[in-house]
Structure 1
Amino acid sequence: MIRKFKEIRDEEAEKIRILYNYHTHNYLCGHAAGTVSDYVREAVKNGMKSIGISDHFRHPALLPSPYMDEATMQSAYLPQFDAAEAEYGKKIRIYRGLEIEYFPGYDALYERLLQSVDYLILGEHYFLHDGKIACAFFTDDKDDVMAYFDRLIDGLQTGYFSILAHPDVIFSHGFTPDAEVLEKFEDVIQCCKDCGVKAEINGQGARANGFNYPTDYLLDICKKLNAPVVVSADSHSPEALCDIYTKKLYCVAQRMGLNIAEDGFIKKRT
């Protein structure tokens, strides 16, 4: 839970106008609803200037997986953008994205994906630690946490990613960081800043995951470093795109004077 979140009144939050969102899902992942056009329609209705859809991609290091592979991306995902562009392209900027984990040794995959989409989000739900796959949602082990942060830094330094999704999700199982862990977390956010990657304040954690993230740890470090941040809906349904949770997080970020990134940092590559 973020300390200041409860201070935000609904009336204040409803005045927020969200201009862009790049962390948005799709029915293809199996745990979200809606097509690309459904989200774009909602974005237009709310007066947004830009919308990026970034559904989960199946990483070869994490098989079996319910998420899309390259064949599904080409046959069922990217054509949705063509349909949305045809209907709404004159009303809003539409960007093609994917959310994916980072594992070393897959440079060719990331480079190939970036030939088809405009951007990648680093969403490290699973990570490599001592030769085994660990889950960021279900650990309270300090060594896991430190390894998670190391893997984030490795991914950020590749230059493949535009946004670091929910960097504090590793705290969602109740882990309380000590000074050493917070110092390492600060290294992650400093790496974001140095590499031109936006650190994300994630709306889905507030909306659907018991508000174990986003955390004050993240906001305080971003404030200290003046690191560019994005407030993302991480919407899994069209109606969540500009909901009260995301708007309240915007209010918190504004009250704290965080360095909220201006729209335009995602460039079309296709």
Structure 2
Amino acid sequence: MENTKLISLHGGHSGEFCNHARDRLEEIVQAYIKKGFKQVGISEHIPPLEDHFLFPEEIKAGLTARDIRQRFLRYFETLDRLKEKYGSEIRIFRGMETEVWHGYPDQVRDLIQRFRPDYIVGSVHHLKGRCIDFSREIYNGLAEEYGGIEAMYRDYFDCQFEMIQTLKPFVVGHFDLIRIFDPDYKKRILDPSIQEKINRNLNLIKSLGLVMDLNLRPLSRGEDEPYPTRSIMEQIRAAGIPMVPGDDAHSADQAGGNVKRAVDLLESMGFDTDWPLERMKVDG
């Protein structure tokens, strides 16, 4: 496979700047280089606005929202240093991954103005202020509060629609993350009320000229398919929306994982793998 086909625009989370990841960011960059990558996007999570949004492992570590904001500053300083140090070997795109919580639009705009990232990954991890992908217990508890898992899916896609409208992220992250703890997601995704919202979101993504994250994190966990599921990938292809691999790596050994498999899948489905990097943009 040509080295120009190897890319990840969602990932590079490191133990240096993310408590649920491992290894130093430089070790992750070195891993991409060793695997033949000539271009990669690093997209660390934005810091929480307040302590209420801290992850349990951050609370356990005794961190505050202020601590993580300071750490985020060091993230971009480190990224700039690595971009200069390894510039002759790999092209690094400086990114960040959004969250959706009360007050996020102003926060993201402020971060864009301060750090001037090359692009952003627009993701939804929270509903009702709680992280949907942290544990099955939180996920199931939220579904009960919504009065059913279908209602939770619908609210997820509504939050995603609002985020896309507001931030216009170059990459829309793990489109159907809401399925994470749902064993019946393949059938549930086809529910007409959910499909209506999926189609609405895809139409918006298409109209704004954004690209979709082919998120490989589920494959690294031994699951059968990436985000999004095959039926949604077929809708994305039919709509003519580009898809770009994202390994969502959280350690050096995960860097670049399953990207070749992803490129093969995209090409077999008729997607263009001439990545639209010249269209990278940040509104803010």
Question: TM-score, normalised on structure 1?
Answer: 0.81
Q: CA deviation at 1:119?
A: 2.3
Q: Which residue of 2 aligns with 1:120?
A: 120
1:53 and 2:42 are equivalent in the alignment: yes
Q: Which amino acid aligns with 1:266?
A: M
Does structure 2 retain, via aligned residues, the 8 Å contact 1:16–1:250? no
The size of the alignment, in residue pairs, is: 250
In structure 2, runs of 5+ residues without a counterpart are 59-64
Cα offset for 1:57? 2.1
Q: CA RMSD in A?
A: 2.6
- Match for residue 11 of structure 1? none
- Give 1:209 deviation, angstroms: 6.1
Q: Distance in 1 between matches of 2:7 and 2:150?
A: 35
Q: Residue 83 of structure 1 corresponds to which residue in structure 2?
A: 81
Tell me the CA shift for residue 59 of structure 1: 2.9
CA distance in structure 2 between the aligned counterparts of 1:184 and 1:122, rounded to whole angstroms:
17
Change (3 A) 1:208 1:35: same
* Shift in alpha-carbon separation, 1:268–1:224, aligned structure 2, 3 A: closer
Q: Which residue of 2 aligns with 1:150?
A: 158
Residue 201 of structure 1 aligns with an amino acid whose one-letter code is L
Equivalent in the alignment of 2:62: none
Identify if the C-alpha distance between structure 1 residues 238 and 264 changes in structure 2 by more than 3 Å, giving closer, same or farther: farther
Identical residues among aligned pairs (%): 22
Say if 2:68 is the partner of 1:69: yes
Q: Which of these residues, 2, 9, 20, is aligned with residue 7 of structure 2?
A: 20
How many Å separate the matches in 2 of 1:265 and 1:100? 19
CA distance in 2, matches of 1:100, 1:268: 13
Q: Which has more helix, going by share of residues?
A: 2
Q: 2:279 is paired with a residue of what secondary structure?
A: coil
Q: What secondary structure sits across from 1:101 in the alignment?
A: coil
Is 1:207 the counterpart of 2:194 in the alignment? Answer: no
C-alpha contact 2:48 2:69 (8 A) present in aligned 1 = no
Query: Structure 1 segments of 4 or more deviating over 4 A?
Result: none
1:161 aligns with 2:169: yes
1:171 aligns with 2:169: no
Structure 1 unaligned spans of 5+: 1-14
- 1:35 aligns to 2:35 (yes or no): no
CA distance in 1, matches of 2:255, 2:194: 32
Opposite residue 41 of structure 1, the aligned amino acid is: Q
Which residue of 96, 99, 102 corresponds with 1:101? 99
Match of 1:197 among 207, 210, 227: 210
Please say if residues 44 and 96 of structure 2, whose CA atoms lie closer than 8 Å, have aligned partners that are also in contact.
Answer: yes
